[in-house]
Chains A and B, each alone.
Chain A
């Protein structure tokens, strides 16, 4: 295990920014902290880097308790949200900073800076100052500066959030590839779920200072275990209801006065939940248009209330009696507003969450 947090808590005054956070990151793994703004992601990273001392809990790097070590004795590399390149130093000096501190001979410094610049594809930029670089280039210098010292752990705090959408998409793959090539352990922070899915081996979803679910991207997306995760991930529709019973292995949820929806019930003892309040999570991609089908479960007759062109796809909102859903079609299969369609919501991909 490369990095472990054990019950870490951080308070600012009476405000609890990080609340009893524990996780283990394996060597070479890319572990992502995903959560909305202000949920404490940066604070967790800073605790690992040693920039904040936690009020409780322990931090281990490579099995060693580093909780009381200052940042300069931890051997972590960190890429900051705003890059934090030093404006008065050239690209070369920025990258060489950590090497000089380690008192390496000048020719080794030169060699390693060159290698780091090659790694981030910025050869020839040595003598530029940060203000002479584009955002993406600055981001890569920041990455090179963190990597050049061969850190035990690489910490990345929303390194792509200041870039435009196109560049962001491209760099996601580059960063993952680079980290994997170096075999380095990385903890990545983002509030962008697509980024998290593309980059990560595992994801920890955070909510107001707590970790609410840890899992592989697939698990997080397909099996959100709480209402919070379900609402944060994807563009799921959440509907409240009451569990009526269990049929064919699916939970039957009563919505409103007459509607029933079936979905997967993630519980070891489903019958104990009967009669309890539950949430049905409907994924847009689990909705299909079925013309003239009968005898299917979860088949609803719905009125298209709005069809919005989104570029490439059309988002449809449909009123299905006592609940509303949304789904997407390719832009050439737009359904006119006001028309009535039969929608099938696959019970296999619909989830029932008991709170």
Chain B
């Protein structure tokens, strides 16, 4: 090996060492620790008892978490596709600008504030129910308590939609105008263009947006903790916190953690594959 390349390697190493040290020691080590702790019992032997405990006691919550997070991501997806399509295809500059400004607002609101907003907004006699009662939609005496999956869904969708819409919008922006014009000349209306041109051509961005949002929902602690708390069913993150803070029980908490890793990992792989496959068309665009 010549001296130059040795020198180069040292240089690269020195540049990377500060961030690598941090990530390896306080991120990757506890990350792996989660897996280790989840598979040993109190006497240090390998065991799957924590997982079987989770699946007997918390099965409902695991399913609940995945279902609500996926449903929220799906609803966000539908709304953000509508917003992005409107912005991409509208010919009215002013309308586009206002829309572009409004939909971003939640992007800047931290999750913990979102949670507090939702607590005031969705409370039995909160703003939403009062509003609905004014229109005559519901009776305030028997106002529904929304602090369950519905509250979680509304909170997630409210917070995540703009981020998703931005990613999809950047995917739509990569579809050149002529591809849209060609469809319009042949007789395609907006909806048809969205369905046959924009969505398939931007499906890489859409897959990424969906995977990221789902993963972020699964990992979110704040919102379910403040909206659902200990009520049943609740999310894996909330149970994890309860196991640690109330029982000092790291084993079950980490088993839940590893399950959430697995869910996110499997999901991301499936969706990122789709994104890579969609990348085949990118060559044409450049």
Interface residues, chain A, with chain B CB atoms under 8 Å away: 46, 49-51, 70-78, 80-82, 84-88, 97-98, 101-102, 130-131, 145-146, 149, 155
Q: Can you list the 10 inter-chain pairs with the closest CB atoms, starting with the nearest?
A: A98-B186, A84-B178, A87-B284, A84-B182, A87-B281, A71-B184, A101-B187, A72-B187, A78-B185, A88-B200
Contact present for A86 and B197 (CB under 8 Å): yes
B179 contact from A77, A78, A84, Cβ within 8 A: A84
Contact present for B185 and A87 (CB under 8 Å): no
Residue from A73, A86, A102 having most chain B Cβ neighbours under 10 A: A86
B284 to chain A: closest residue by CB: A87
Query: What residues on A are CB-neighbors of B196 within 8 Å?
Result: 97
Query: What residues on B are CB-neighbors of A76 within 8 Å?
Result: 185
Is residue B136 within 8 Å, beta carbon to beta carbon, of the partner chain?
no
Query: What residues on B are CB-neighbors of A78 within 8 Å?
Result: 181-182, 185
Of the four ranges (under 10, 10 to 19, 20 to 34, 35 or more), the interface on chain B belongs to 20 to 34
Interface residues, chain B, with chain A CB atoms under 8 Å away: 176, 178-179, 181-189, 192, 196-197, 200-201, 280-281, 283-285
Query: What residues on B are CB-neighbors of A146 within 8 Å?
Result: 186
Query: What residues on A are CB-neighbors of B283 within 8 Å?
Result: 131
Contact present for B284 and A149 (CB under 8 Å): no
Complex Cα gap A101–B188 (Å)? 7
Query: What residues on B are CB-neighbors of A84 within 8 Å?
Result: 176, 178-179, 181-182
Complex Cα gap A87–B285 (Å)? 8
B185 to chain A: closest residue by CB: A78
A88 to chain B: closest residue by CB: B200
Query: What residues on B are CB-neighbors of A70 within 8 Å?
Result: 184
B285 to chain A: closest residue by CB: A87
Query: What residues on A are CB-neighbors of B186 within 8 Å?
Result: 72, 77, 97-98, 101, 145-146, 149
Contact present for A97 and B181 (CB under 8 Å): no
Query: What residues on B are CB-neighbors of A49 within 8 Å?
Result: 181, 185
Query: What residues on A are CB-neighbors of B192 within 8 Å?
Result: 101
13 additional A-B residue pairs with CB within 8 Å, beyond A71-B184, A87-B201, A145-B186 = A49-B185, A50-B184, A51-B184, A70-B184, A71-B185, A74-B185, A77-B186, A78-B185, A80-B181, A81-B178, A86-B182, A86-B201, A131-B284
Residue from A84, A98, A146 having most chain B Cβ neighbours under 10 A: A84
Shortest B216–chain A CB gap in Å is: 28
Contact present for A72 and B178 (CB under 8 Å): no
Contact present for B183 and A97 (CB under 8 Å): yes
8 A-B pairs whose Cβ atoms sit less than 8 Å apart in the complex: A70-B184, A71-B181, A77-B185, A77-B186, A81-B178, A82-B176, A86-B182, A97-B183
Known: A86-B197, A130-B284. A72 touches B182 (CB 8 A): no
Contact present for B179 and A86 (CB under 8 Å): yes
B283 to chain A: closest residue by CB: A131
Query: What residues on A are CB-neighbors of B284 within 8 Å?
Result: 87, 130-131
Residue from B181, B187, B197, B281 having most chain A Cβ neighbours under 10 A: B187
Complex Cα gap A73–B183 (Å)? 12
Shortest B133–chain A CB gap in Å is: 43
Complex Cα gap A86–B188 (Å)? 14
